[in-house]
Amino acid sequence: MDMGPDGAPMQAWAKQLSDKRDADKHKDDPLALCLPPGVPRVETHGGHMFKIVQTPREVVILYETSSNDVFREIFTDGRPLPEITQPSWKGYSVGKWEGDTLVVETTGFNNKAWLDTYKAHPQTEKLHVTERFRRLNVGKLEIGVTIDDPGAYTKPWTAKLNIHLIPDTEVMETVCENSEGTEHLVGK
């Protein structure tokens, strides 16, 4: 994710955790344990493909990831975000169209996923992600992301993802194996 020159405005504990993860060479990365990527990491994880399927009442995204089969439902039928009692890896998403842009609001996350791979930004159960999906042209998709997590950051921050579209491709099965432990990874 391109977060601009200032980076993410992390609280002290979040910065320490991000630095520790970096120093440990990401050995506790949930993906190394075959756990799912969260949002927005799932859109950028390792260059894997994803497919967007649109119906009149929802948008479904099928992801090809290293943590086995992952999908995401974005309800576009006008429902509000619910009160979440069971936080999850991908949260609960509702979306609406603003012109040619799909605006997606997601809440209800657990505190286990990482927001990204490069800096291993942490998240808390207070996380609220707003994504703006917009097709720039035949081969490009732009996803604007706003992270609002008062549990980990001093203020909301934004990032931009530019995705290369490959139409008419198939999402391939991926299987995560060898998650017995992370002793094979370098780090403390």
Return the pLDDT at 115: 92
Return the pLDDT at 184: 53
Q: Can you list the pairs that 170-175 forms with residues at least 24 positions away whose Cβ atoms lie under 8 Å?
A: 171/49, 171/50, 171/51, 171/62, 171/63, 171/64, 172/49, 172/64, 173/69, 174/48, 174/64, 174/65, 174/66, 174/68, 174/69, 175/68
* 3-class secondary structure, 19: helix
Task: Name the more confident of 32 and 158.
Answer: 158
Domain ranges of the chain: 12-164
Domain 12-164, CATH = 2.40.128
Q: Which residue has the tokens 């097709």?
A: 135
- Output the six-digit token pair for 122: 């942490």
pLDDT digits (tens, 9 = 90+) for 172-184: 777 777 655 555 5
Could you tell me how far CA 96 lies from the centroid of its own chain? 19
* 3-class secondary structure, 155: coil
pLDDT digits (tens, 9 = 90+) for 43-91: 766 566 788 899 999 999 888 776 666 789 999 999 999 998 899 999 9
Mean pLDDT of the chain: 86
Asked if residue 121 has pLDDT above 90, the reply is yes
Return the pLDDT at 47: 60
Is the torsion defined by CA of 152, 44, 176, 188 positive or negative?
A: negative
